[in-house]
Structure 1
Amino acid sequence: MARHAQNRARMSLSRRSKAVGGLALTTLVGTALWAWPASGDDHDSLADGKNGATKTAAGPDTAQNRPAPKSVPNAAPAARSIPGLSDAVRKQIPSGTRQVLVVTGEDGDSYESRVILYTRAKGSDDWQPGRTWAAHNAAHGWTDDHHYGDLRSPQGVYTLTDAGGRLPAPGGTKLPYDHNRSFVANGTGVEGEPLAGAFDYVIAINYNRVAGTSPLDQQRPDGAHKGGGVWLHVDHDGPTQGCVSLKPDVMRELLRTLDPAQHPVIVMGPARY
């Protein structure tokens, strides 16, 4: 973790937009993905008798002289939004999306993160959270300007359209799934841990790739220097080169749950920086 602190000042301050997976998605630059809510309540203050309350002209303020209270209809409960996201990030989530996988890194240089899948019913603005899962991201944390080999995960909002893996698709998988023995992770990870089984299940994150193709597809619309092959895949108990990794049972659950008909996206980045 010591090397994370040596990389804390590498973020650039710019803003750009790009088309990702057929959707124009703006990547936040130099601005935290997450806006932490202020503590305490925010109610309108009511004036008391010392600060502007007035008496009626008919006489003293007695129960007989007070006007009858007006009936107030029951207010509809406020819709539940996805917590911690800034308004700018919320606006990047397509209006038709009903599944949002939120990956929150501990900070800009950490490779430890947590993942929550939020869902909403059709026509509703009320987001419901699922369980929280532990995950790993890239060894050096996050970046708003990812390049091949920088050992940082690209932060932003990306669609999820394609999956695959060395093992057959779990029963109930809804995303298009490429069962292919070419999903092999050779060698060792960043910290020397074995990578065997890391690509048993993968879900492609539509960063610098062509949506609607196998995760193995090598097309890089923004050029090879911008990296690619950024996936959700099976955790190997260590940091990644740019992907997000989760335990095998979580990957199977996501494959059974993520549904193209609900236009799933992933929102990923550090909690604060």
Structure 2
Amino acid sequence: MLRIYLLLSVFVITVTSCSSVQYFNSYWNPISSKENFKTTEAIYYHPSDKTSLKVFNNNTSIDIILETNSPITLRKIYNLGLSIWIDPNGKSKNIFAVNYPMPVDIPFTDKQFRSYLKRFTTVEFQEELIDRFQDYEIIDRQINESVLLNTTYVNEEVKVFLNTNKQVLFSCRIHIPLKKLYFDKKPANSILSIGIASVNEADQEYYSALSSKEYIQKRVDELKAGAYESKYELEEYWTNFRLLSKE
């Protein structure tokens, strides 16, 4: 009897834990202060690609910041683009996306990219990124819309910003009005999902840019049981955040 009771207890705990919604609270940001964006600690860290997320919101907008100090991850972003997906219903579905940066035409090998990074000071690299990455794409599946925009357009509601400094190799901030996600609904205390992935998948054209050594390693990795087959792309992940209604 005791054994049956213990088994039932374990079952109830398991079901309860699986059914509960796991999320992180966003930061309340009443004023779009750039200092808040820079000095506030990351809310979530993804170890595979060494990326971190910060999420801020107020009653009118949400700001999502993705950062990394990994040159390998930055090469993935540089070559294949960065896609930030949002599901305002918190179900980890591809509903609204900002694709930025967009993929480059000619991908870098690891050796080429490290050599490329060494050419610039911190300030020069910031200017290089801003100059190279001006186009971004918005995909809204709620209204079946896909729009290509440019960072030089000052009147766009959805905005993107790049930042790099001595502490952060790459930092991308996406600013989205909440009405773009929720229309006339009140989003206070809503739980939304944020997904990170590459815009493009590595294909044969991408692999042609690899050195012989890198391509051989790719083939070896594909033959290994359980190997991560998309090591040249960002590892896709989803995280839930609860939007706050007050500070």
Is the pair's TM-score, using the shorter chain for normalization, greater than 0.5? no
| Higher RCO (C-alpha under 8 Å, 6+ residues apart) | 2
Q: TM-score, normalised by structure 1?
A: 0.29
Structure with the largest fraction of helix: 2
Larger radius of gyration: 1
Q: TM-score, normalised by structure 2?
A: 0.31
